[in-house]
C-alpha cells in the first residue's frame, strides 16, 4: 500500500460506521412498529427507513476487499481462520448464551411455545450459523449475515489455496462454480465481489470536496434503492462507484468518512451491529407498557429512538472494549499456543 494507507484505512473504518448506523436506524423504527407503539407515518418514509437494512451490503464489500489481504498476511489458512474466529465468535457466542439463557425467563417471543427438544435444536443450529440455510428461526436478529461471511471466508480460502498456492485452476473450478451458484441463490452475496475486485485492481475514483461527498451520497442511495426496488445485481454498479470513491484517500467522501464520530462508530461497528437489539429490547417492553396506559405514541417513540440510540452506542462501546479487545487479548495467546505452539517447537527442533 502507498503512503496514503492511513487515510484509506480511516475511510474503510468510517464506512463500517455508516453501515452499522444504517442497520440500527431500521430497528429504531421496526421494533416500535412490531410492538405497536410507532405512530402513523408516511408510507414513503417508512419504506425509506426500512432500506437502511442494506447496510449489510456495505459490510460485504468491505469484507471482500480486506479478506484477501488478510489471508496473504497470515500466510496460513489455519492462522487466518483462527484470526477470523477470534474476531467474530466471542461477541456472537456471549450474546447467544445471554439470549438462550435470559430469553425464556423474560418471555422473549422467540421461545414461546417450544419444547426442550426444539430449544436445544435452535440453540445448536443458531450457534452454527445455520438457521437460514435450514429454514429455522433466527435468534439474534442480525446474525444471519455471519453465515454469509463464513461462507465467503471458507470458499475464498479454498479457491486461494487451489488457484494461488497450488496453481491448479482445475481443482479451484468446482468451488468457483459453487460461488456462482451461491450468488444466483442469494444475489446480495455478489457484493463480496465488489470488494474483491477492488483488492485486485488499483482503480480509484477521486472526486474532491463537497462534490465528492454528494457523489458518494447519490451512489449510496442508488445502491440502496436498486437493491430494494429493482434487483441486488443492479445495485452492484452504484455500489462499486461508491466503493471506488471511498478508497481514494483525497476524495470528498473518504475525507468525510474520516471524521471522528464515524471513526468511533466504525471501531465499535461489529459489536454495535450485534448488540443493539439487546439494548433496545428493554426499551421496547417499556414502550408497550406506556402505550397501554395511554401515553402519547409520538412521545414514546421519540423517547425510544433517542434513548435507544444512546443505549446502543454505550452497549456497543462496552462490548467492544470488554469482549473484542480485552477478552480477545486473553484468548489470543492461549489459542495460538494451543494450535500452533507444538508445530513451532517441532520446526525449531528439526
Q: Nearest to residue 62, comparing CAs of 87, 90, 97, 34?
A: 87
* pLDDT for residue 1 is more than 80: no
Least confident of 69-78, 192-201, 320-329: 69-78
CA distance 235 to 2: 29
315-342 pLDDT, tens digit per residue, is 999 999 999 999 999 999 999 888 887 4
Between the alpha carbon of residue 22 and those of residues 34, 56, 58, 105, 168, the distances in Å are 19, 9, 10, 31, 41
CA distance 182 to 251: 34
* pLDDT for residue 74 is more than 70: yes
Q: Average pLDDT of 74-102?
A: 94
**Got the DSSP string for 47-71?**
HHHHGGGGHHHHHHHHHHHHHHHHH
- Using 50, 70 and 90 to split pLDDT, how confident is the model at 4? very low
Q: Nearest to residue 189, comparing CAs of 55, 61, 85, 26?
A: 61
The rounded mean pLDDT for the chain is: 92
Which pTM value belongs to this model?
Answer: 0.92
Q: Three-state DSSP class for 202?
A: coil
In this predicted structure, what is the pLDDT of residue 141? 86
Q: Three-state DSSP class for 249?
A: coil
* pLDDT for residue 18 is more than 90: yes
Q: What are phi and psi of 255, to 5 degrees?
A: -65, -45
Sorted by sequence, the CB contacts under 8 Å of residue 45 that are 6+ apart come out as none
CA distance 107 to 284: 13
Would you say the C-alpha torsion 192, 326, 6, 68 has a positive or negative sign?
negative
CA distance 71 to 77: 7
Amino acid at each position: 500500500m502507498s503512503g496514503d494507507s492511513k487515510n484509506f484505512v480511516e475511510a474503510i473504518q468510517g464506512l463500517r460506521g455508516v453501515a452499522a448506523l444504517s442497520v440500527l436506524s431500521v430497528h429504531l423504527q421496526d421494533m416500535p412498529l412490531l410492538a405497536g407503539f410507532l405512530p402513523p407515518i408516511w408510507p414513503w418514509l417508512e419504506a425509506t427507513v426500512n432500506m437502511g437494512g442494506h447496510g449489510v451490503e456495505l459490510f460485504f464489500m468491505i469484507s471482500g476487499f480486506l479478506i484477501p489481504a488478510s489471508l496473504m498476511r497470515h500466510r496460513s489458512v489455519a492462522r487466518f481462520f483462527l484470526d477470523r474466529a477470534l474476531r467474530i465468535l466471542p461477541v456472537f457466542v456471549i450474546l447467544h448464551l445471554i439470549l438462550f439463557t435470559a430469553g425464556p425467563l423474560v418471555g422473549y417471543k422467540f421461545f414461546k411455545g417450544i419444547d426442550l427438544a426444539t430449544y436445544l435444536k435452535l440453540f445448536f443450529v443458531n450457534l452454527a450459523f445455520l438457521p437460514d440455510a435450514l429454514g429455522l428461526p433466527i435468534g439474534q436478529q442480525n446474525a444471519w449475515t455471519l453465515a454469509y461471511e463464513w461462507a465467503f471466508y471458507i470458499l475464498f480460502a479454498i479457491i486461494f489455496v487451489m488457484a494461488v498456492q497450488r496453481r491448479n485452476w482445475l481443482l479451484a473450478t468446482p468451488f468457483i462454480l459453487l460461488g456462482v451458484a451461491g450468488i444466483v441463490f442469494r444475489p446480495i452475496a455478489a457484493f463480496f465481489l465488489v470488494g474483491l475486485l477492488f483488492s485486485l485492481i488499483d482503480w480509484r475514483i477521486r472526486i474532491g470536496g463537497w462534490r465528492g461527498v454528494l457523489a458518494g451520497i447519490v451512489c449510496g442511495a442508488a445502491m440502496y434503492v436498486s437493491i430494494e426496488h429493482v434487483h441486488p445485481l443492479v445495485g452492484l454498479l452504484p455500489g462499486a462507484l461508491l466503493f471506488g470513491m471511498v478508497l481514494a484517500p483525497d476524495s470528498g467522501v473518504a475525507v468525510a468518512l474520516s471524521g471522528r464520530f464515524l471513526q468511533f462508530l466504525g471501531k465499535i461497528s461489529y459489536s454495535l451491529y450485534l448488540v443493539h437489539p439487546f439494548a433496545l429490547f428493554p426499551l421496547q417492553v417499556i414502550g408497550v407498557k406506556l402505550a397501554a396506559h395511554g401515553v402519547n405514541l409520538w412521545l414514546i417513540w421519540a423517547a425510544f429512538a433517542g434513548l435507544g440510540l444512546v443505549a446502543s452506542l454505550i452497549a456497543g462501546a462496552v462490548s467492544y472494549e470488554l469482549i473484542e479487545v480485552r477478552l480477545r487479548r486473553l484468548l489470543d495467546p492461549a489459542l495460538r499456543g494451543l494450535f500452533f505452539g507444538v508445530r513451532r517447537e517441532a520446526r525449531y527442533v528439526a
